[in-house]
Structure 1
Amino acid sequence: YLLELLTPRQDVRPGLPMVRRVKEAIQKEEKQKEANEKNRQKSIKEEEKERRDLVLKSALGNENKGFALLQKMGYKSGQALGKSGEGIVEPIPLNIKTGLSGLGHEELKKRKAEEKLENYRQKLHMKKQANEQAADQFRVRFKNKQEERKMEGDLRKSQRACQQLDIQKDIEVPKETWFWIEPEEEDKKDEEDKEDECTSSDLSVSEKLQILTAYLRKEHFYCIWCGTTYEDSEDLSSNCPGDSAADHD
């Protein structure tokens, strides 16, 4: 028992040795990469860049002739240029060109990129306008279709009212053939895609509705939108808002 207590215990968890080996291999690989990076010979461009950055970061000294002339004229390090001290403090930065392209190549690339962006914006604007125009046209068509269906419904309503009121006055034949609704048309009036049979003449639905409602108001003192038969023309003109659906909204 004492021997077991004095003997250091080993970690026997499953998979732990494998994890350690993988971790050690990764660390070894990273160290090898760092060593290779340090021992790698730098290219000429990299060496030039390092030397250039080192020179640009260092401040100008008395060995610089231009700086020496400025000091003779009273200039002090860190002081702004100009008589009133409103000029620059640091030297103008250098833009080193390292590529093989011409001097105007970057400006050309920039201009082409701006033109491409502007063309893209114009296309988006035109597409937006086209979508808005299509939406407006759809709304207009939908509104016209709704108004047309409403007028067709008002016309059928006027035809039924005309037929009923004419029969009450012992009128056996309508003034116009389309003033009364046909029996077979009565059965089909609720079908959504039905073509109105009363459009066989050259008159449009709105024209027929206007003519028929005028006939009902004149002959029977009846308004389909009020749904009322008035006593006479004076009663009709006094109490009815008007002779169109818009007057009754």
Structure 2
Amino acid sequence: MSDEEEDYMSDAFLNKIQDVKPGVSMVRRVKEAIKKEEKIKEKNIQNRQKSYKEQEKESREAALQSSISNENKGFALLKKMGYKAGQGLGKEGAGRVDPIPLTIKADRGGIGLEELKKRKAEEELHHYRQKVRAKQQNEAKSLEDFRSRVRTEREERKIEGDLRRSQRSCEQLDSQKGITVPREPWYWPKVDEDNEEDSAEEEDEEEEITELNSFDKLQILTSYLRGVHFYCIWCGTTYNDEEDLSSNCPGDTAADHE
């Protein structure tokens, strides 16, 4: 190493280097740049010329904030008619005091557009309510149909059960009186027989009474039991005579015994 070149580890070389903390200069430069940018923005805002709309808005607001001067012709006519500043309009001063506020239209929609939008919204709401009402009515009708169907099926099962009980009671009471053949084949419960001739006869007899349903059969059979045996299937009692039956039995239907 020559004498002209300094050793980078020597004290003389290290003393020449400026002692700067890392990161301090960078933060200072960033802050200065931000301040400079803010000053430029403020200067641009101050020097910027206001647009026509901004000037119009400021003029309008200033005019609305100030009261009408005495030099105004309309105000002068009002004063001649007895009006005083700050007094309400009208003969007795009960009218408006403040001016009618202005509504500035900012969009490009034509006159009547808002009314059209309002009418369309009301129509859509009306149609929606109609749909909801129709849906509710359909659901209510479906529910009522279901309940009616269930109620009908329940009543039919009850009638079938009462008819079977009446047939068993009729067979038992007829047998006690020595009656071996029922007045009508369906008065007694059906019995499976191997004799084909008897089965054929029963089928022919059943065809003759196909017009009778379970309800009709029940009415006829209960009337027979009450008139011949003085028996009520819903009371489950055999009465002494017709007078005893009519006096103590609530009636000749299931509803009378509920």
TM-score (norm 2): 0.67
SS of residue paired to 2:178: coil
Structure 1 residue 39: Cα displacement: 4.9
The Cα offsets for residues 45-86 of structure 1, whole Å up to 9 and x where unpaired, read as 555445433432333333544234434544332210112112
Q: Residue 174 of structure 2 corresponds to which residue in structure 1?
A: 166
Which segments of 5 or more consecutive residues in structure 2 lack a partner in the other structure?
1-33, 193-205
Q: Is 1:92 matched with 2:100? A: yes
The one-letter amino acid paired with 1:161 is: S
SS of residue paired to 1:174: coil
Q: Residue 216 of structure 2 corresponds to which residue in structure 1?
A: 207
CA root-mean-square deviation = 3.0
Q: 2:244 aligns with which of 212, 225, 235?
A: 235
Q: 1:83 to 1:158 in 2, by over 3 A?
A: same
CA distance in 2, matches of 1:226, 1:46: 98
SS of residue paired to 2:234: coil
- Say how many residue pairs are matched: 203
SS of residue paired to 2:69: coil
The Cα offsets for residues 5-53 of structure 1, whole Å up to 9 and x where unpaired, read as xxxxxxxxxxxxxxxxxxxxxxx9xxx8xx79x9597875555445433
The Cα offsets for residues 107-126 of structure 1, whole Å up to 9 and x where unpaired, read as 21121112222222222222
The one-letter amino acid paired with 2:147 is: R
The one-letter amino acid paired with 1:132 is: A
Q: 1:82 to 1:134 in 2, by over 3 A?
A: same
Q: 1:132 aligns with which of 128, 140, 161?
A: 140
Q: Is 1:175 matched with 2:183? A: yes
Q: 1:166 to 1:43 in 2, by over 3 A?
A: farther
CA distance in 1, matches of 2:53, 2:217: 90
SS of residue paired to 2:74: helix
The Cα offsets for residues 158-215 of structure 1, whole Å up to 9 and x where unpaired, read as 111111112222322222222122357xxxxxxxxxxxxx998331111010011111
Q: 1:106 to 1:177 in 2, by over 3 A?
A: same
Percent of paired sites with the same residue: 59
SS of residue paired to 1:66: helix
The one-letter amino acid paired with 1:93 is: P
Q: Is 1:148 matched with 2:144? A: no
The Cα offsets for residues 119-142 of structure 1, whole Å up to 9 and x where unpaired, read as 222222222222232333233222
> Rg larger in 1 or in 2?
2
SS of residue paired to 1:170: coil
TM-score (norm 1): 0.69
The range that moved more, 175-184 or 101-110, is: 175-184
Q: Is 1:117 matched with 2:125? A: yes
Structure 1 residue 225: Cα displacement: 0.8
SS of residue paired to 2:61: helix
Detail structure 1 runs of 4+ shifted over 6 Å in the superposition. 40-43
Which segments of 5 or more consecutive residues in structure 1 lack a partner in the other structure?
1-27, 185-197
CA distance in 1, matches of 2:229, 2:220: 14
